Amino acid sequence: MNPTHDDERTRIRKAIDRLLTGQATLSNGSLTATALAVEAGVHRMALMKRHADLKNEFYERVRTETRQVPEPEKRLRETVTRLKKTIADQNAEIQDLRQRLIRLTLAAAVLTHGQDQPGPALGRALELGSVSRLVP
């Protein structure tokens, strides 16, 4: 490894310790990867790509030492909950639409079949104007 890489890793480890002890000097002190990158003085993408192991270590320490759920995980959990509710609502709507389709298809079949030979109930409904004839 090159000296710059080692220097970045050292700065990140020190920044992790500062953030976890609440002694942030350069960042806002939040327990996020962005704050860690700012605190360590490295580019956020360098932390995400070259030092992903340290980022994961940071989040693991956040869970164990502070007994908190990291912010990205909280947001993901909220999104998953919201999406599950949306899926459930859409499934219920689809089921309702399927039932309506079945009822409408059956009604159309009865009305179409009954045009040639109206039964007593259908004939009476046609007389009262509550059912319209379907034109074939």
Instruction: Report yes or no on 82 lying in a domain.
Output: no
Q: Are residues 46 and 14 in the same domain?
A: yes
Q: Are residues 61 and 99 in the same domain?
A: no
Tokens 């919201």 found at: 82
User: pLDDT (tens digit, 9 = 90+) per residue, 33-74?
Assistant: 999 999 999 999 999 999 999 999 998 998 888 888 888 888
Q: Are residues 17 and 57 in the same domain?
A: yes
Range of the domain at 40: 3-68
**pTM of the predicted structure, to 2 decimals:** 0.56
**6 token code pair:** 């080692």
pLDDT at 112: 84
- Which of 44, 2, 1, 4 is CA-nearest to residue 15? 44
Q: Are residues 59 and 96 in the same domain?
A: no
Per-residue b or e along 68-78, where b marks 16 or more CB atoms closer than 10 Å to that residue's CB: eebbeeeeeee
Q: Are residues 95 and 53 in the same domain?
A: no
Q: How many domains is the chain partitioned into structurally? A: 2
